[in-house]
Amino acid sequence: MRRLFGSVRARATIGATLVVAVALVAAGAAVLLSLRSNLIDQAGTKAERTARNIAAQLASGRPYDRLDLDDETPVQVVDESGTLVAASEDLERISGTGTAQVTPSPPRPGPTSGDDDDDDDDVSLEPGEIDPDTDFTDGSATIDGTTEDYRFATVRVKAGDGGRLTVTAGGSLDAEQSAVNTATTVMLIGFPLLIGVVAAVTWLVTRRAMRPVEGIRSELAAITASQDLARRVPEPATHDEVARLARTTNETLTALEASVERQRRFVADASHELRSPIASLRTQLEVAAAHPEFLDLDGAVADTVRLQHLAADLLLLARLDAGERPTEGRVELAALAEEEAEGRAGVTVGAHAPVEVAGSRGQLGRVLANLLNNAGRHARSAITVTVRREGEWAVVQVADDGDGVPEADRERIFERFVRLDEARSRDDGGAGLGLAIARDVAERHGGTLTVGDAPEGGALFELRLPSAA
């Protein structure tokens, strides 16, 4: 049960059903209120029409006992003293009109006159005039044994002889109650059916819409279980969010597969590179243990240093792959280039002005050292280092007079464990990590590292870094 209601399909169905239910209840209430108001207004209009008809008869001087009263409509005529002087013939009970009398007083020749100044409500009325204002009240009445609710309209009139009279007539609310009850019954039956249909349709539609998502989930579960990153999730032929999710998932799997493959190749290459100096060092130590007089101390030290450098390079690459951010600081590139070039034969450093960048001095020093080491292995006699500012960039160029880098290999040399001259010994050519480390560090500092042709004909490595503000 918890799994069922925890699904997107169940939540979407419940949400849509609740929204429709609230909308239907609100709409139903509005319809009922509007219907009831309209029917009450109709009953009031009918009652007012009846009351004004009787008032017109009184205004013309017709006697009470000769008034044309509808036997099916409750009517009361009250004089200025509050006495009921005329009423419907079969009226048995009435409420909500201000007087509960249903039996008129004994008939009199006609309406009596009174002092117009005694009632402020009739001051503006002239004999034979009907008050244009109408008062409405709600009540009930019993006529010929039948009790119903009514909308009462009260009209004041001044008879032809000056007597003040109040006429009250009722309009039945039976039609309003019947219509409202019928509409309520229809809503109570129809709304649950409609809500059920909405819930069923939403359930089916969401199930169809979520079917590709379930396919993606099951395939990802299978990929996780099998650890086969070459598999891909199915991509729907639609152009909706689910299709975009599937494409993004496959792109992520492709990147993950490439990353894992790159990691495997890195581990294999690292193991291969470490095996050589370790094996050489072990051989020398074993020979020295058996024959101390044959100990090649310089060779053992060289292998140890090479192994130390290789381990440092591998650790730095591992930290870069883990997303390590360079420490914040200001580095003056001209001074750093002078420091790294010191003691190297044939290296010339030219700087037009101090150029500062933000980043790690140690990592940027490693970049310059790797570039100088690479240039030293390929240069014939001269290496030139130039430091300058170009707009918002700090530019460091390392040029040599060697054979240069073929255009087809200018990106491949930045890959890890790549050496263009495979015949060259590892002692001379290194492990093929220097340029890869240099580019990774440059990118971590928001810059770039590229290679082109030097004016002297050799290779020109250009490092661009954002200059410090």
Q: What are phi and psi of 400, to 5 degrees?
A: -130, 170
Bridge pairing between strands 84-87 and 91-95: unpaired
Q: What CA–CA distance (Å, rounded) separates 206 from 110?
A: 80
Q: What is the DSSP letter of 409?
A: G
Bridge pairing between strands 347-351 and 84-87: unpaired
Q: What CA–CA distance (Å, rounded) separates 18 from 199?
A: 9
Task: Give Cβ neighbours of residue 177 (< 8 Å, ≥ 6 apart).
Answer: 149
- Helices 361-378 and 333-341 sit at what angle, rounded to 10 degrees? 50
Bridge pairing between strands 135-143 and 356-358: unpaired
Q: Give the residue from 461, 437, 426, 241 showing the smallest Cα distance to 337.
A: 461
- Domains plus CATH for the chain? 1-227 (no CATH), 241-321 (1.10.287.130), 330-466 (3.30.565.10)
Q: Say what the pTM is.
A: 0.51
Determine the pLDDT at residue 425: 44
Determine the pLDDT at residue 238: 81
pLDDT by residue, tens only, the chain of 469 residues: 455 555 777 888 888 899 999 999 999 999 999 998 999 999 999 999 999 999 999 888 888 888 888 778 899 999 888 889 999 888 889 999 888 888 887 655 444 444 444 444 444 777 888 899 999 999 999 998 889 999 999 999 988 666 789 999 999 998 888 888 999 999 999 999 999 999 999 888 888 888 888 888 888 999 889 888 888 888 888 888 888 889 999 999 998 888 888 778 777 777 777 777 788 778 878 887 887 877 777 777 877 887 887 788 788 777 777 777 777 789 999 999 999 999 888 899 987 788 899 999 989 999 999 999 999 988 988 999 999 999 899 999 999 998 889 988 889 899 887 777 643 444 445 667 889 889 999 999 999 999 999 988 899 999 999 998 6
Q: What CA–CA distance (Å, rounded) separates 405 from 421?
A: 11
Determine the pLDDT at residue 119: 46
Determine the pLDDT at residue 333: 92
Determine the pLDDT at residue 210: 81
Q: In what order do the strands lie in the sheet with 448-453?
A: 347-351, 383-390, 393-400, 459-466, 448-453
Q: Give the residue from 330, 346, 350 showing the smallest Cα distance to 338.
A: 350
Report the alpha-carbon angle 433-437-442, nearest 5: 155
SS3 of residue 126 by DSSP? coil
Q: What CA–CA distance (Å, rounded) separates 270 from 378?
A: 24
